[in-house]
Amino acid sequence: METFAKDFVTLLQYLLPGFVAAWVFYNFTSFPKPSQFERVIQALIFTIFVQVFVYLIKVLLFFIGSKWSLFNWNLQSDLIWSIILAILLGIIFSYYANNDKVHKKLRDWGITRETSYPSEWFGMFLENVTYVVLHLDGERRLYGWPKEWPSDPEKGHFVLEQASWLSDEKQIPLTGVSSIMVDVKDVKMVEFMEKI
């Protein structure tokens, strides 16, 4: 039993950077968290990247240390560098998942037709920063600037600023209201207005 506990702690220390990188990634993006099994697989993948970078840093620091002795490398050094690199790796992956740069290049080369965004809904709001018209139940339409919008088309709320009701061809401003929150479940369709 004691051997199992020792092995488990060793394994946990080894996988910890991968879990940290995945945690950073899911906190900085709108991707839904996958099942526990998929999270473990992602942690393993992140761990491989982190361990490769830790090895490269270790080699570089040993080379520098052969010329100038700065400090001794030990197990704590491994753990510290692993956590630092895991955080940086999570931030880098989040950056590229949030801006579609890698997938855009891959689409240009004809490799894929996918985006890096979690859904078409998310991509449309991110790429169309403009006023919107929300079509609500009962043929009502609400016009405004989307300060916030839900990442998921099934749950969450819109927060509109400078909101007004649209009636036929007439606009009725909501006076005295700085912003209005609308449940996404009440929205049937979203129109993105042309940029002027």
Residue spans per domain, the chain: 2-108, 120-192
The domain 120-192 is placed in CATH, from the list 2.60.40.650, 3.90.1200.10, 1.10.1740.10, 2.30.30.100, at: 2.30.30.100
Q: Report percent pLDDT > 90 for the chain.
A: 41
62 vs 131: which has the higher pLDDT: 131
C-alpha 140: how far from its chain's center? 33
pLDDT of res. 192? 92
For residue 9, pLDDT beyond 80: no
CA distance 52 to 58: 10
Q: Which residue has the tokens 């839904």?
A: 32
Which residues have a Cβ under 8 Å from the Cβ of 142 and sit 6 or more positions away?
A: 133, 134, 136, 160, 163, 164, 165, 166, 180, 182
Task: Tell me the pTM.
Answer: 0.74
- Amino acid letter at 45? I
pLDDT of res. 161? 93
Of the candidates 148, 145, 149, 176, the one whose C-alpha atom is nearest the C-alpha of residue 162 is: 145
* Cα dihedral 72/76/77/82 (nearest 10): 170
Three-state secondary structure call for residue 133: strand
Tens digits of per-residue pLDDT, 29-64?
Answer: 888 888 888 888 988 999 999 999 999 988 888 887
For residue 142, pLDDT beyond 90: yes
Q: What is the mean pLDDT of the chain?
A: 87
Q: Report helix angle 75-99 to 2-28, nearest 10.
A: 30
Length of the chain in terms of residues written = 196
pLDDT of res. 58? 86
CA distance 20 to 85: 10
Spatial contact of 28 and 52, defined as CB atoms under 8 Å apart: no
Spatial contact of 40 and 21, defined as CB atoms under 8 Å apart: no
pLDDT band at residue 196, thresholds of 50, 70 and 90? low
pLDDT of res. 1? 58
pLDDT band at residue 2, thresholds of 50, 70 and 90? low
For residue 163, pLDDT beyond 70: yes
b/e code 5-29 from CB counts within 10 Å (16+ = b): eeeeeeeeebbbbbbbbbbbbbeeb
Tens digits of per-residue pLDDT, 65-99?
Answer: 777 776 677 777 788 889 999 999 999 999 998 88
pLDDT of res. 84? 93
pLDDT of res. 76? 78
pLDDT of res. 47? 92
For residue 174, pLDDT beyond 90: no
